């Protein structure tokens, strides 16, 4: 499952540089996460770095993009090879 940023985002830009897959970008109003690039940091870190650094806890699992850890690892391999 990839992650999503909720409307509570304050556009602080702390999460964007922490994403190892460059999945976070500035959308029309708030930062957004590309489901095609988000691996929840599987393959890079033990915990999603965006969640770890977000000062207002506005990043959560995206119910519209459910993936298991195997799928996230396969996506990581595809993105890094």
Q: Tell me, what's the pLDDT at 56? A: 96
Residue corresponding to tokens 């996460």: 33
Domain spans of the chain, in order of start: 3-80
Catalogue the E-assigned strands of 1-81: 3-5, 24-26, 31-33, 59-61
51 touches 59 (CB < 8 A): yes
* pLDDT reported for residue 1: 67
User: For 34-45, b where at least 16 C-beta lie within 10 A, e where not — what string?
Assistant: ebebbbbbbbee
State pTM to two decimals: 0.92
Q: Does domain 3-80 have CATH number 3.20.20.70?
A: no
Task: List per-block mean pLDDT (blocks of 10 residues) for the chain, which spans 81 residues.
Answer: 93 97 97 96 97 97 93 95 91
> Within 10 A of 18 (CB to CB), how many other CB atoms are there?
16
């Amino acid at each position: 499952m990839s992650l999503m940023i909720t409307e509570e985002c304050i556009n602080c830009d702390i999460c964007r540089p922490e994403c190892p897959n460059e999945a976070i970008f500035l959308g029309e109003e708030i930062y957004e996460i590309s489901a095609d690039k988000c691996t929840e940091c599987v393959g890079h870190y033990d915990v999603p770095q965006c969640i770890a650094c977000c000062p207002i806890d506005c990043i959560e699992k995206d119910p519209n993009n459910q993936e298991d850890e195997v799928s996230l690892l396969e996506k990581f391999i595809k993105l890094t090879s």
